[in-house]
Structure 1
Amino acid sequence: MTQMILEFFSALGLWAIPLSFLFTVLLNLLGVIPSIFVTGINIILWGPWWGFLLSWLSELVGSSLAFWLYRKGVQQWKGEKKGNWRWIQKCNSLPRGKQQLSLLTVRLAPFFPSGVVNVAGAFTNVRLIDFIWTTGIGKIPSITLEVVTFLGFQQLGRALQWTILGLVVVGIVLWWYSKKKQAVD
C-alpha cells in the first residue's frame, strides 16, 4: 500500500507538492489520522530538508484551519448549550502569556495528538495568532521526530543529533516549568 502511494506521488512530479500539502491539511481537519506517512513520502520524494519544510508548513496551515473551523462550530454549539467544563474555565482564566506557554508545552510533546490540541483549543479563548505561532514552534519537534524515524537516527550527522537532543531537552524543561507553575497556582 505504501509503495503504491509513493509511486502515485512520484508520478505526479511537482504536482505532488500541492497534493501532499492539501492531503496533510485534510488530515488535520479530520483530526484523528496521523500524518506521519505523508511526512515519510515527502522525505523520500523531496529529501529531509524540503520534506520537513513541506510537512511543517502543511501541518501548520492544517492545524490552524482546523482550530478556526472547530472554533466556529463550538461557538454555534455553545449558543445551544450552557455547559462549561472546568478545564475550559481554568484555561480561559489564565493570563495570555500562561495560555501561550501551556499551548506551546502541549505542542512540544511529540506524541500528543494534534487533533486533540486543535479541538481543545477551539473550546478556549486562546487567540488565533497565539495558536498559530505556538503550533509553528511546537510542530518542529514532532516533524523532526518523524524525519528521524524515516531516515534512521544513526545516519544523521552529529550536529543534527545534538539539535534534536536540544529540542527534546527544551521541550522537557518547558513541560516541567509549566507543571511547576500550575502547581504553584
Structure 2
Amino acid sequence: MLDLFPSNPLLASFISILLNIAVAIAGIIPSTFITIGTVSILGFKIGVVILILGEAAGALISFSLYRRGILKLSRNSQYNKVENRFLYRLKDSNGIQAFFMVILLRVLPFVPSGIVTLTAAISKIGTIPFFMASTLGKIPALIIEAYSLVYILNFGTELQILIAVMALLIIFTYIALRKASNKES
C-alpha cells in the first residue's frame, strides 16, 4: 500500500488529493487505503489536513459531475428512487435542513460518501452549502478514521489480521441480514 505513495511529502500530498478526488467521483470505492498511505507518509496532523483537502475537493467535483449527469438523466427518465430514510429526507430538503442532513450523513461511518453526494446532487441544496456541510461532516469522521488506522497499524501483524477478519465478518453478516430482510419484505 505504501509503495503507491512517494516518500516526497509534497508529491505524496498531491497524489493523496488526486486519489481522494478519483474515489469521490467513483462513489463506491472506500478511501481507507488513501488514509493509511497519507497518514503513514505525512504523519497524523499533516496527513489529516491533506485528507480533509482531498475529501473536500472530491466532494465538490463529484457533486458537480453528479448534478450535471442527473440533469441529463432526469430529462429522459424518472430518477428519484431513494430508500434510506435519512437520504430520503435529504433528497426532499433544502436550506438549513439540507445543510445539517449532509453534516449528519458525512459523520455517520456506515453511509457511503458517494451515496450522500449523489442524493445531495438530486436535492435542492446549493453547491456552496453542500461543500461546507460535506467538509464539516468529514472532519470528525476523518480524524477518527486516521487515528484508528494509526492505532491499528501499531498492533502486531496477528492482531491486524484478526481485526481485518472480524471487520469482514461483520460486513458479510450485515449484507446477509440485509438481503434476508429484503427477501422478507
- Name 1:77's counterpart in structure 2: 73
Match of 2:180 in 1: none
CA 1:23–1:75 in 2, change beyond 3 Å: closer, same or farther?
same
Query: What is the CA distance between 1:46 and its match in structure 2?
Result: 0.6
SS of residue paired to 1:10:
coil
> TM-score normalised to the size of structure 1?
0.72
Q: Which structure carries more helix by proportion?
A: 1
Alignment match, 1:160? none
Q: Provide the identity percentage.
A: 25
CA–CA separation in structure 1 for the residues paired with 2:110 and 2:39: 20
Kept in 2, the 8 Å contact 1:111–1:142? The answer is no
Say if 1:110 and 1:145, in contact at 8 Å, map to a contact too: no
Partner of 1:134: 133
Matches within 5 A, 1:28-177: 28-82=24-78, 84-85=80-81, 91=90, 94-152=93-151
Query: Unpaired runs of 5+ in structure 2?
Result: 155-185
CA distance in 2 between partners of 1:92 and 1:13 (Å): 39
* 4+ long deviations beyond 2 Å: 10-14, 82-95
TM-score by length of 2: 0.72
Count residues in correspondence.
Answer: 150
Q: Note the alpha carbon deviations across 1:130-165, whole angstroms, 9 max, x for none.
A: 110111110012211221112228x9xxxxxxxxxx
Q: CA separation of 1:74/1:66 partners in 2, compared to 1, >3 Å: closer, same or farther?
A: same
CA distance in 2, matches of 1:86, 1:48: 36
2: distance between equivalents of 1:34 and 1:95? 28
| 1:15 maps to 2:11 | yes
Q: 1:51 to 1:91 in 2, by over 3 A?
A: closer
What is the CA RMSD across the aligned residues, in angstroms?
2.4
Unaligned runs of 5+ in 1: 156-185
Q: Name the counterpart of 2:168.
A: none
Look up the equivalent residue of 1:116 and give its one-letter code: I
